[in-house]
A and B are shown apart, each in its own frame.
Chain A
Amino acid sequence: MARKELVPGVGRLSRSQTYARRQLYKGRKTGTASAKPEAAPTKEVQVGGDKNGGTRLVPTSKAPRFYPAEDVRKPKQSRKTAKPTKLRDSITSGTVLILLAGRFRGKRVVFLKQLESGLLLVTGPYKVNGVPIRRVNQAYVIATSTKINLGDFKVDSKINDAYFAKSEKKRTRSAEEEFFADGKPKEKGAFPETKAADQREVDKVVLAAVKKTEYLAKYLKASWGLSKGEYPHQLVF
């Protein structure tokens, strides 16, 4: 069998190769293995000879007769830690952002706050351009100089990263089987009422602020794009 390590600290297989070999794509094992009865460390054996005391305690498994001549070096522990994401200076509460990636690319949205994970919490508002409360990465965003005065509005602290996490569902059947029940695609579940209420709550304040400036709602509704001869690095946002 091939060695597991090429040199101490460098494995033969990459992370993804190990993943494939160990068939980790099948999913993490759930449930605990049944506990094996622990073997006794020693057992008593009968010893012949008069002067040997009759019985003796002997370890059940023999200690190895050889030790590796060379010490196996341990990989160095990395002390690097990820720094918290720095919010761009141009992004403050109420800043109009242009989304550049994802399902809502090209939409202009309102920034609410930065979440613990470093992602930005934004809203369309939903009524204006159909963008719900959403998390976006600031790398995929253009910050404009247009700011909406939200005053000292604070987003409810329940809207955090956990709020957006998908609920983990136990699957008994495969996804396909589940989707096509009775030869028809499964009907979509209704949007949770609590989330719709949260959206309304947040948008109420944002919409009120948007209405104060002429054309602003229209601006948020319009999507952004580049036309011929326009280059984003030459534009002023």
Chain B
Amino acid sequence: MPRESNFARFVEVGRVVLLKAGPHTGHIAVISEIIDHNRAIVDGPTTGVPRQAFPYRHLTLTSLTVPKLPRNAGSGTVKKHLEKADIVSKWESSAWAKKRAAAAKRRTLTDFERFQVIVHKKARRDKVRKVLKAAKA
């Protein structure tokens, strides 16, 4: 039987999304109701995002979903489901979130700290190179 779709992430109730605009940029929320082709109601009671309409073009779909989230549920219910599915810790342990956190951290480094990163990276490269050479020989 052919696959239903080539896509893996859908705009659906319970889909966890990453906000790309507005005051809550960078936070995750969950779609609790689809308004139309352009907007959905998103809610993030565990990440400080208030329930609001959000255009899809300012959202990124993640691979996470909240299973069995009722359509158009209120913030309280959404919170219960989010906590039950342990979405925040799942998100934070994902490679995507980790990369984002690392990039954000990098941006706050001072000149001296950036220099230390260079020094440590050089040391790591050196070690890897030596070990590799020893292994090849």
Complex Cα distance, B111 from A98, in Å, reads: 10
Q: Mark B92-129, 1 if CB is under 8 A from A, else 0.
A: 00000000000000011111100110010000000000
Contact A222 B115 (CB under 8 A): yes
Q: Are A218 and B112 in contact (CB under 8 A)?
A: no
Task: Considering the complex, give the chain A residue whose CB is closest to the CB of B110.
Answer: A145
* A144–B109 touching, CB < 8 Å: no
Say yes or no: A216 contacts B107, CB within 8 Å.
no
Which of B108, B109, B112 is the one whose CB lies under 8 Å from A219? Answer: B112
Taking CB atoms, residues of chain B closer than 8 Å to A1 are: none
Q: Least Cβ distance of B64 to chain A in Å?
A: 31
Bound CA span A222–B116, Å:
11
Q: How far is the CA of A108 from the CA of B115 in the complex (A)?
A: 12
Q: In whole angstroms, what is the CA distance A224 to B118 when docked? A: 12
Distance in Å from the Cβ of A236 to the closest Cβ of chain B? 6
Q: B110 near A219 (CB under 8 angstroms)? A: no
Main secondary structure of the interface of A (DSSP, over half): mixed
Contact B108 A144 (CB under 8 A): no
Contacting pair A236 B119 (CB below 8 A)? no
Contact with B along A204-234 (1 / 0, CB 8 A): 0000000000011011001010000000001
B30 CB to closest chain A CB (Å) equals 32
**Chain A residues within an 8 Å CB radius of B115:** 215, 218-219, 222
Please report whether the interface of chain B is mostly helix, strand, loop or mixed according to DSSP. helix
**CB-defined contacts of A218 to chain B, threshold 8 Å:** 115, 119
State the CA gap A215–B119 with chains docked (Å). Answer: 9
Q: Is A180 an interface residue (CB 8 A)?
A: no
A69 to B33, CA, bound (A): 92
Docked-complex contact B111 and A237, CB < 8 angstroms:
yes
CA distance A234 to B100 in the complex (A): 17
Q: Is A236 touching B109 in the complex (CB atoms < 8 A)?
A: yes
Q: Give Cα distance in the complex from A8 to B109, angstroms.
A: 60
A235 within 8 A of B: yes
Q: Which residue of A lies closest to B118 (CB)?
A: A222
CA distance A98 to B114 in the complex (A): 14
Shortest CB-to-CB span from A141 to chain B, Å, is 13
Contact of B110 among A108, A144, A222, A234 (CB under 8 A): A144
Identify which of A146, A234, A235 contacts B112 (C-beta below 8 A): A146
Identify the closest chain B residue to A96 (Cβ).
Answer: B112
Whether A146 contacts B116 by the Cβ 8 Å rule is no
Q: Which residues of A contact B (CB under 8 A)?
A: 96, 98, 108, 144-146, 215-216, 218-219, 222, 224, 234-237
Q: Which 5 A-B residue pairs are closest in the complex by CB-CB distance?
A: A146-B112, A144-B111, A237-B111, A219-B115, A145-B110
Excluding A215-B115, A236-B111, 13 further A-B contacts by CB distance (< 8 Å) are A96-B111, A98-B111, A144-B111, A146-B112, A215-B112, A218-B115, A218-B119, A219-B112, A219-B116, A234-B107, A235-B111, A236-B107, A237-B111
